[in-house]
Amino acid sequence: MAHSTSTKVRRIVAYILSAMVLLFAIVAILAIWDIIEYRYLIKRMFQSLMVILGASAVIVLVFAILDRPDREIEQGEKGQE
C-alpha cells in the first residue's frame, strides 16, 4: 500500500511540474511577442520553478525513505519462509 501511495505522489508531482512548465512556456512566448511585459518576469518564473522543483524532489525523497522500511520487513519475512 505504501508503494502505491509513493507512486501516486510521484505522479501528482510530475503532473504539477509539467503543468507549470507548460504555463511558464506560454508566458515566455507571450513575452517574446511583446504581448506582456517581461522585464523581471522570466527571472522570477525560473526562480519559482527551481524552488518548486527542489521542494518536490525533497517530498519524493521523503516518501521514498519512508517507504523503505516496509520493503525491508517484507524481504525479511520472505527470507524466513
Grid cell in block for residue 31: 513575452
Which H or E run contains 1? none
The more confident residue out of 23 and 63 is: 23
C-alpha to C-alpha distance for 46 and 24, rounded to whole angstroms: 8
For residues 1 and 70, give the distance between their C-alpha atoms in angstroms, rounded to a whole number: 10
- 70's CB contacts (< 8 A; 6+ apart) are 2, 3
User: Mind listing the pLDDT tens digit for each residue in 25-75?
Assistant: 888 788 778 888 777 777 787 888 788 888 888 887 887 777 765 555 555
Domain assignments of the chain as residue spans, ordered by start: 2-80
Q: Which helix (H) or strand (E) holds 22?
A: helix 2-32
